[in-house]
Amino acid sequence: MEWYLPLIWAGVIGTAVAMYVIMDGFDLGIGILFPFARSETERDQMMRSIAPFWDGNETWLVLGGAGLFVAFPRAYAVIMPAFYLPVIVMLLALVFRGIAFEFRTVSHSKSGWSWAFVAGSTLAAFAQGVILGGMIQGIKVENGAYAGGPYDWATPFGLLCGLAMIAGYGLLGATWLVMKTEGAIAVRARGQSKACLIAVLVFMAAVSLWTPLAEPRIAERWFSLPNFYYLWPVPAVTALVAFGCWYWIEKERDAPPFLAAIALFMLGFLGLVISNFPYLVPPSLTVWDTAAAPSSQIFMLVGTLLLLPFVLGYIVLVYWLFRGKVREGESYH
Amino acid sequence: MEFDPVLLARLQFAFTIIFHIIFPSFTIGLSAYIATLGVLWLRSGEERFQLLMRFWVKIFAVSFAMGVVSGIVLSYQFGTNWSRFSVATGNVLGPLLGYEVLTAFFLEATFLGILLFGFDKVPRWLYVLSAAVVAIGTMISAFWILAANSWMQTPAGHEWKDGIAYPLDWLRIIFNPSFPYRFAHMLNAAYLTTAFVVIAVGARFLIGERNIAEGRTMLRMGIGLAAVLAPLQLVIGDQHGLNTLKHQPIKVAAMEAHWEGSKPADFHIFAWPDEKAGTNRYELSIPKGASLILMHKMNGLFPGLLSVAAKDRPPVATVFFAFRIMLAVGFFMIAAALLGAFFWWRGSLFDTRWYLRVMAHTWWIGFVAVIAGWVVTESGRQPWIVYGVMRTADATSPVPGATIAGTLALFILAYGVVFSFGIYYMNWLIAKGPDLGPDAVKSGSEPGGVSPIASTKDAGQGIV
């Protein structure tokens, strides 16, 4: 039990993080693409395509944070102080983009809050990338507590990951627009999808080369035998999915590019898990080192297994109710 | 300059949580009010209920967005600012917060989407049901977070091993000794706060002689509710105080600025607690009043502040004055609500202009009481973060004071902007009123007319 539980919880939190990255990813992506719209009317239409969902999407971030606190309090207590500044910046950025949804409609000077939406979305994505990059590079831990300085996260690799995240969310956002809007926006979004896809592939390649070169443990994980025999399909499938994404954009299909973008994210996520498992706080603390008391994990697990199907059920309901494309000229309330 | 990380972390948390609690205190009550209007609309089919419902939904949307984003901040601050607390209590508090996310946050966030955007898309019953689900979600959220807070005040159902709490009995953890009282007190406070906002808006409409029918409906509903809840809050508060006396006597001693436990306690209408000298200056007191309230007898004795060492006392002046502010607001609310009920009974409620004028300006009063009450209970818990077990000073993260000071400044700046605009927009939505006809939209659609960013109104052409 003491061995299984942390693994199950790692799976639950991995799922929450993946859900967050995909779902808030596409709506943060809308903010990242906001500057390229031609008018506030177009921006209304873009915002309308995510307005009923964004709040629920962001809740996965709370589940990820709370889940880490529930299941791995010692990891939570190391990661948060280690990324103190990027976390606070991300939260403040999310504050501005969250209220921009409401304030922008109420205010008749929309462009001011459009800016807040752009800045908040982009900065939040960047900060999340920086945090991810810092996690991959490793956190200095002594006696179970964070032992580094306030700017340890500010490395070239961290900044690279920040930019990668912006490109990635941009891809999710652009393919979402292809699927969910009509008219000029959808046409433009096809071009944006391609640009973002190229950027994402470049960043994925950069991270895939950089990490094994910089971190021997990651090189060993991927390139030692027999691991390599099992793991080579991951990059191969990634290439295939990327090709598919491009192909479907070219063919002017609606949903497949978005689904391919999601698959691309999942493959990247899988790659990171393969690189770092079983470390939750690389390179020192594993899922077992940081796990909460078994009774706490069980108590919460029972609730999660009972409640999550309902949560997913009504999330599906809302996506179904607001199915279909948002037409030109459709605005917020 | 040397930054004290503990003080700064406390200041930052106090600032972000005070900012946050403003919005739930309103949205818990407002969502219930909106759901009530929805049910009335379904049952009677009367248009004014539908108009009112959708009017308040718009205001709710603005308030809820601010509550959500400031709440996300808090869920991460446990880790960023209080990492040692997180390690020590994660086993116990973690699941309570986790259940809050799973049972409440997703529910609220998802059905809010229907409430805000679904009016033309879903059948009436589903629209009203969504309002009810959001209201229930806010209540469930309050349940869990107050269980967690109450456990920090009156920890139970766990054992400590090597400085870490391990759960023994989840029911005792959740239903810890102070939880039922705090839950009832806060929930009632939220409904009461909203009732006074609704009364104020109703009064404003009647004074302005517009939306008369809706204004009257709001005034009647608000006063009817407040006339019951305000006196009820006195009873709940009294019971909550007795519970606190049992489990956190030093907090009560600070609330009453009661230093010497060997004598019956006076009730100080005013006093200036001198924490160095361990006594009060400039007392204006009702002799033995506090003993009467708390022990229900004139010569009842309860522990004074001097019974514990100075390092184990909360900041007396803060707790003492915040408690007085809460009491003052509470009694004002009882008086205002009963007076309103009296005018209603006499049939003169809508014509008593001075009363309407006063009520139109007291929309903020519940928020003051809520914040003051939280200052009492949270400052009164000091110097403990988990009462009697873990000191606040031992709970911080290994983050330098300067970093916390910098982010505190950022929070103040950012929240200052958000709050100013939020209040401004809500006020504008209220001024615009519930009439959604084409004329009203035309005359009311110029918020930018006085907005500082109005000059950019036509700059909507591409912001890059």
- Per-residue pLDDT reduced to its tens digit, B409-418: 998 999 898 8
> Is the CB of residue A89 less than 8 Å from the CB of residue A49?
no
Task: Work out how many domains chain B is built from and give that number.
Answer: 1
The answer to whether residue A229 is domain-embedded is: yes
The answer to whether residue B412 is domain-embedded is: yes
The answer to whether residue A230 is domain-embedded is: yes
Q: What is the mean pLDDT of residues A316-332?
A: 81
Return residues 242-261 of A near B (CB < 8 Å): none
Entry field: residues in chain A: 333
The answer to whether residue A333 is domain-embedded is: no
Angle at B187 between CA B186 and CA B188, to 5 degrees: 90
Instruction: Classify B168 as helix, strand or coil.
Output: coil
Which has the higher per-residue pLDDT, B296 or A119?
A: A119
Give the distance from residue A181's alpha carbon to the nearest chain B alpha carbon, in angstroms: 17
The answer to whether residue B454 is domain-embedded is: no
Q: From chain B, pick out residues whose CB is under 8 angstroms from the CB of A101.
A: 65
Q: What is the mean pLDDT of residues B416-424?
A: 89
User: Which residue among A99, A150, A292 sits closest to B66, beta carbon to beta carbon?
Assistant: A99
The pLDDT, as a whole number, for residue A332 is 54
Return residues 273-302 of A near B (CB < 8 Å): 292-293, 295-296, 299-300
CB atoms within 10 A of CB B353: 11
Does residue B448 register a pLDDT over 60? no
Assigned token pair, B299: 């010569």
The answer to whether residue B217 is domain-embedded is: yes
The answer to whether residue B250 is domain-embedded is: yes
> Is the CB of residue B155 less than 8 Å from the CB of residue B389?
yes
CB atoms within 10 A of CB B89: 27
The pLDDT, as a whole number, for residue B283 is 81
Burial class for A7, CB neighbours closer than 10 Å (0-12, 13-18, 19+): middle
Considering only B203-212, B384-393, B453-462, which range has the smallest mean pLDDT? Answer: B453-462
Q: What is the mean pLDDT of residues B307-324?
A: 90
Among A29, A58, A61, which residue's Cα sits nearest to residue A46? A29
Q: From chain B, pick out residues whose CB is under 8 angstroms from the CB of A76.
A: 78-79, 83, 86, 90
The pLDDT, as a whole number, for residue B1 is 55
Q: Phi and psi dihedrals of A153, rounded to 5?
A: -75, -15
The answer to whether residue B242 is domain-embedded is: yes
Considering only A161-165, A177-181, B306-310, B374-378, which range has the smallest mean pLDDT? Answer: B306-310
The answer to whether residue B440 is domain-embedded is: no
Instruction: Classify B388 as helix, strand or coil.
Output: coil
Does residue B37 register a pLDDT over 70? yes
Give dist(CA A172, CA A30) in Å, integer.
Answer: 8
The pLDDT, as a whole number, for residue B458 is 35
**How far, in Å, are A190, B59, B363, B427, B452 from residue B23 at the CA level?**
40, 11, 14, 15, 24
Task: Work out how many domains chain A is built from and give that number.
Answer: 1
What is the complex's ipTM, to 2 decimals?
Answer: 0.85
Among A164, A247, A243, which residue's Cα sits nearest to residue A208? A164
Read off the pLDDT of residues A292-322 as tens digits, 9 standing for 90 and up: 888 888 888 998 999 999 989 988 988 988 8
Q: From chain B, pick out residues whose CB is under 8 angstroms from the CB of A315.
A: 106, 110
Does residue B147 register a pLDDT over 50? yes
The pLDDT, as a whole number, for residue B451 is 36
Give the domain CATH number at A252: 1.20.1630.10
| Band of pLDDT at residue B452, cut at 50, 70 and 90 | very low
Give dist(CA A233, CA B446) in Å, integer.
Answer: 59
Read off the pLDDT of residues B346-379 as tens digits, 9 standing for 90 and up: 988 888 889 999 999 999 999 999 999 999 999 9
How many CB pairs below 8 A link A and B?
271
Question: Do the bridges between strand B384-386 and strand B390-391 make them parallel or antiparallel, or are there none, so unpaired?
Answer: antiparallel
| Band of pLDDT at residue A331, cut at 50, 70 and 90 | low
Give the distance from residue B299's alpha carbon to the nearest chain A alpha carbon, in angstroms: 46
Does residue B87 register a pLDDT over 90? no
The pLDDT, as a whole number, for residue B464 is 31
Burial class for B365, CB neighbours closer than 10 Å (0-12, 13-18, 19+): buried
Give dist(CA B14, CA B252) in Å, integer.
Answer: 21
- Domain boundaries, position B105: 8-435
- Domain boundaries, position A149: 4-321
The answer to whether residue B18 is domain-embedded is: yes
**Nearest-CA residue of chain A relative to B88?**
A73
| Band of pLDDT at residue A283, cut at 50, 70 and 90 | confident
Q: From chain A, pick out residues whose CB is under 8 angstroms from the CB of B111.
A: 314, 318
- With CB atoms and an 8 Å threshold, state whether A296 touches B91: yes
CB atoms within 10 A of CB B413: 11
Look-up: residue for tokens 């007085």? B324
Instruction: Classify A293 as helix, strand or coil.
Output: coil
Q: What is the mean pLDDT of residues B239-243?
A: 91
The pLDDT, as a whole number, for residue B446 is 38
Q: What is the mean pLDDT of residues B85-97?
A: 89
The answer to whether residue B449 is domain-embedded is: no
Does residue B200 register a pLDDT over 80? yes
The alpha carbon of B204 is separated from its chain's Cα centroid by a whole number of angstroms, namely: 23
Read off the pLDDT of residues A141-171 as tens digits, 9 standing for 90 and up: 888 888 888 888 889 999 999 999 999 999 9
Give the distance from residue A18's alpha carbon to the nearest chain B alpha carbon, in angstroms: 16
